[in-house]
Structures are given as C-alpha cells and as structure tokens.
Amino acid sequence: MSKYGDIIKKAREPENQIKVKPDNQITKQPEIEPEQLVNLCVKVPVKLRRYWMSKAKEQGITVTSVIVEALNQKFGKP
C-alpha cells in the first residue's frame, strides 16, 4: 500500500471514529415557494406615470399593489 493507505485504513476502523452529536441542532421548516411572478406591461403617458408614482410614494405604497387591488376588485381572484 501507499504510505497513506495504512493511515486511512486505520482511521476508517469503527473504534477510531469519534461520534459527535450537535448540541443545538435546529431543523428548518421547508420553505414554501412563492407563486411565480410575471410582468404585466401597460403603456401610459409619461406625465400620468410620474404623477401616479409620486402619489404612491407619498402614501407609502407601490403602484403594483394599487393595480393588483384594482384588478382583484374588478375581476376577483381565481
């Protein structure tokens, strides 16, 4: 055998194995994958977009949330 073969063979013997149990093992809950998101493009005049974006920023909301809310009110959820 090679010069390390005997060392490796001896290390693999069960009596030479050190059994270690983790002290603070924390198991994680499986993460739920979020639904895949896609873009919804809408062409609007630049002036209106700027106005809507500034109003949304003033209120601390996103235009996306406003659009989704409007679509849910109009058509409902599947």
pLDDT of residue 38: 92
pLDDT of residue 1: 56
pLDDT of residue 34: 83
pLDDT of residue 19: 73
CA distance 5 to 61: 66
CA distance 1 to 6: 7
Ranges in the chain, pLDDT < 70: 1, 22-23, 25
Domain ranges of the chain: 38-78
Q: What is the DSSP secondary structure assignment for residue 27, as one 8-state letter? A: P
Residue in 48, 42, 45, 50 with CA at minimum distance from that of residue 68: 42
CA distance 34 to 62: 19
pLDDT of residue 78: 86
